[in-house]
A and B are shown apart, each in its own frame.
Chain A
């Protein structure tokens, strides 16, 4: 940091003084590092069961239901690695599709609707692993950012 440590004071200095720059950068770094761990990341989800908060009104035929059953997608235990099991299949609007096709299919089915009608009803088995289900939610949301997820009970 001390650019002039080997130069006597009587000489002319033509170096840029970097000290204020370094100070500012350090302070920014510190602010950033303190704030980041307190920021939360995740997914908004609703579970509509009470009369005060009814399910968003939609004609029954336009409700898009994504169901996940443990026989088609084996996520009873936390999935290994970073994704879902390769053979994981889910049922979207009564059609069984590979989970990997979810982003494209959801975008196709809901992309044309106004934002407040982009609702995906999630019917997932209670025995499924939470992390696995969140990864499927992540896939479903990956192309439509403002997608509303409504958990519905299957039993």
Chain B
């Protein structure tokens, strides 16, 4: 933290405290970043080798919570308005990609229903989001507490 050169005059601004503050801010930001991801908390299924599905900002993010409720990004949708919401979320995107973040405790039928609705709304193919075993994402603590 000390600058050397005691014998000469120092006209240099001491940037060390500034750097300290910036680094602390960055660390705070880094810690908060995982909480910034869109959608409600779900416990994603753990699998051994999930494939890359791209950046969530370029996808229409459909979340199915533990109770089977449907979400598009941060907004909850009743089933009858779901397709309409999907089309609105796609906007002008010529090739929109839909991914499903389904809770690990769901039954397959609930996910299948959402897939059918997405297909009927005119989107072909979905990404089923999972996470690699051993990694943590937002909402995992709830799962751990329940087990």
- Known interface pairs A134-B45, A134-B47. Does A39 touch B107 (Cβ–Cβ under 8 Å)? no
* Number of interchain pairs (Cβ within 8 Å): 163
- Which A residues between 3 and 46 are near B, CB-CB below 8 angstroms? 4-5, 7-10, 26, 30, 33-35, 37-46
Residue in B104, B106, B112, B130 whose CB lies within 8 Å of A42 = B130
Q: Check if B125 sits within 8 Å of A44, measured CB to CB.
A: yes
Interface size class of B (residues with CB under 8 A): 35 or more
Q: Which residue of A lies closest to B99 (CB)?
A: A40
State the CA gap A50–B132 with chains docked (Å): 32
Q: Check if B124 sits within 8 Å of A46, measured CB to CB.
A: yes
State the CA gap A78–B37 with chains docked (Å): 25
Interface size class of A (residues with CB under 8 A): 35 or more
Q: Which of A45, A82, A139, A145 has the most CB of B within 10 A?
A: A45
State the CA gap A84–B119 with chains docked (Å): 29
B103 contacts partner chain A, Cβ-Cβ < 8 Å: yes
Q: Check if A41 sits within 8 Å of B108, measured CB to CB.
A: no
Residues of A within 8 A of B138 (CB): 37
Which of the segments B23-31, B79-87, B88-96 contacts the partner chain?
Answer: B23-31
Encode B100-127 as 1/0 by CB contact (under 8 A) with A: 0011111111111001100110101111
Q: Is the interface of A mostly helix, strand, loop or mixed?
A: mixed
A residues with a Cβ closer than 8 A to B are 2, 4-5, 7-10, 26, 30, 33-35, 37-50, 52-53, 78, 82-83, 124-131, 133-135, 137-139, 141-142, 145, 151, 153
- Known interface pairs A34-B29, A43-B50, A138-B47. Does A129 touch B108 (Cβ–Cβ under 8 Å)? yes
B17 contacts partner chain A, Cβ-Cβ < 8 Å: no
A34 to chain B minimum Cβ distance, whole angstroms, is: 5
B45 to chain A minimum Cβ distance, whole angstroms, is: 4
State the CA gap A42–B98 with chains docked (Å): 12
- Known interface pairs A10-B7, A33-B33, A53-B124. Does A128 touch B137 (Cβ–Cβ under 8 Å)? no
Task: Report 22 cross-chain contacts, Cβ distance below 8 Å, ordered by A residue.
Answer: A8-B5, A9-B5, A30-B26, A37-B33, A37-B137, A38-B56, A40-B56, A40-B99, A42-B99, A43-B130, A47-B119, A49-B116, A49-B119, A129-B104, A129-B107, A130-B102, A130-B110, A135-B45, A138-B48, A138-B49, A138-B50, A153-B112
